[in-house]
Chain A
Amino acid sequence: MVTAEATPIEVRGLVKRYGDLVAVDQVDLDVEPGDVFGYLGPNGAGKTTSLRMMLGLIRPSAGSVRLFGRDPQVSVKALEGVAGFVEAPSFYPYLSGRENLRLFAALDGGGAKGRIEESLGIVGLSERAKDRVGGYSHGMRQRLGIAAALLREPRLLLLDEPATGLDPGGMRDMRDLIRELSASGMTVLLSSHLLAEVEELCNRVAIVRSGRVAYQGSLAALRAEAGEGYLLRSPDEARARAVLAAQPGIRDVTVTEEGTRFAAADEAAVGALSLALAEAGAPILELTRRHATLEDLFFSLTEGDGVGPAAERQNGGDPAPAPVEAA
């Protein structure tokens, strides 16, 4: 379904200052047609603020946003074919869920009105649609927010932490829905700090920290960049760690809940390690190869004291492995 068309989202040098605080700092983003783009970052990283600028809700201090080539700051026409919400979607509490959707559909014009019941059905709210939104639970409002976005038949969907407040079934439904929408050709940008969600859904990610993009590229490239690691479990952790520390070719030793993780120069170094452990009297319960999860990378990018210059850490999506930054 994806034809050659203007880039769904093109963000250049985006900055938002609140007094001395720089909430969004020189962000460049490119979201291509068909992408499910994950916008990842810890609390206060500037995800919501960026999305607000993309939707034309707040004015950038500098930089620009183009949605399919149009500027949402100039006219709401730029939001044609675009839908989404920031933070928890909000509604008129004194109107019913269905009335709220009718209102939005009226403001959308066109055929939006005819999609109300279908949208309510998709998010599983048909039964409760007659009740006042004031009495809705957080998760129900979240679902209604998705329904309100679907009314617009968007080609581009911007979702700010869509899974917050949803029960496990709701989260699964949400993931299935996003996959389905993406398969039908929709471009999706979703902000999240749920790494599992992003790993499962997204083909490309940007990781932001303190308003700056710490990484942007394909998930495959990110995985490659993260490199591989090993996991060691031993009943005598202290002794095992002493061996690890002394062993040549073993580095980045970290203790996690699962066990001790480390990186190895090559497989031979791991083989030598197993012998050294046995010799030292540290039994091996498990010694396995582990792919770094997005989580590891997330922490190494968002927590370590040095964030490399954002520009340096961006790569355009082609797997161009660079050594992972030491946390």
Chain B
Amino acid sequence: MNPGVLTIYRWELRKLRAQKRTYLGLGAAALVPIIFVVALAARNGQPEDVAFGRYLHDTGLAVPLVLLLFGSIWMFPLITALVAGDIVASEDRNDTLKGIFTRSVERHQIFAGKALATFTYAIAAIAITGAVALVAGILVSGFNSIVSLSGTRVSATEGLGLVGLSLLFYLVPILAIASIGLLFSTVFRNSAAAIVGTLMFSLLVQLIGILPGLGGLQPYLLSTQFNAWQGFLRSPVDWEPVLRALWVCALYAAPALIAAVLVFLRRDVAGD
């Protein structure tokens, strides 16, 4: 009679589709690139000190890349945490765990469904930002070749592929943030606390990176992994940051998910 994780996942997506915060997050993901491009079109200046900043007027391909750089500070972590921090805590807010825990599915299946739905949402947010940024950027600055980080010029179509790859790889640290959001959501049982907690965590990690004497930790900070995609924009591809991002992010995500599952499995549903 057990309907399995896929059914739970589908219903978690349906629940997300019925909630305002989902649209708030995805709306922000679409709106930010539009505002950015409109501001760019209105003024002639451009951020010179950011990678790809100086190409913003030359090619639309630079727009998503600059957004990835800026977004890693707090925007994408916030958009991710908006749902990740809420997806378990909202069950506590509505006292609905007692309902779903007394049907025919095990608690670990419910958690798996929720984690998958959270990841799906995060992927959708990045995809939306990327797509909107590309379209808006190309409309304003054209679909032109771009200069890679090692100074070689890359054709527009090849550049498009690299941008897609970068967006895809950006998901690695984003899903780690989502896992931490899930943990806080499960432990705090309060979505505001979990969302703020996730954001604080992401900011504190960045703070550690700029503390004097702790520079050696830099490669292993979660915030650093948000720049790993730049490895794809070198020729030849710099695999070192890419590969490191994979295992470093796993080291953040796996313990968070395991701890969250254990708490979720063992917790009392006492309505308090």
Interface residues of A (CB under 8 A from B): 49, 52, 55-59, 75-76, 79-80, 82-87, 89-95, 99, 103-104, 106-110, 148, 152
Contact = CB atoms under 8 A, between A and B. Distances in A.
B94 A107 contact: no
A263 B70 CA distance: 85
B7 A80 contact: no
Given A56-B101, A90-B96, A108 B269 contact: no
A80 B99 CA distance: 14
Contacts of B266: 59
A86 B96 CA distance: 11
Contacts, number: 98
Nearest to B3: A109
Given A58-B270, A95-B18, A108 B3 contact: yes
Contact of B11 (A49, A85, A103): A103
A94 B20 CA distance: 9
A103 B15 CA distance: 9
Given A107-B11, A109-B2, A87 B104 contact: no
20 contacts: A52-B98, A56-B101, A57-B102, A58-B269, A59-B266, A76-B104, A76-B106, A79-B103, A80-B1, A89-B99, A94-B19, A103-B15, A104-B99, A104-B103, A106-B7, A106-B10, A107-B7, A107-B105, A108-B104, A152-B104
A85 B101 contact: no
Task: State the majority secondary structure of interface residues on B.
Answer: loop
Given A55-B101, A59-B266, A108-B1, 18 more contacts: A52-B270, A55-B102, A57-B97, A57-B98, A57-B270, A58-B268, A79-B103, A86-B271, A89-B99, A91-B94, A91-B96, A94-B15, A106-B7, A107-B3, A107-B103, A109-B7, A110-B1, A148-B99
A285 B269 CA distance: 55
A99 B268 CA distance: 27
A54 to B, nearest CB: 10
Nearest to A158: B102
Interface residues of B, number: 30
A101 to B, nearest CB: 11
Contacts of B102: 55-57, 76, 79, 82-85
Nearest to B113: A107
A95 B99 CA distance: 14
B200 interface: no
Nearest to B269: A57
A125 B105 CA distance: 26
B238 interface: no
A298 to B, nearest CB: 25
Interface string B86-114: 00000000111111111111110000000
B181 to A, nearest CB: 20
A234 B14 CA distance: 68
B24 to A, nearest CB: 14
B177 interface: no
Contacts of B106: 75-76
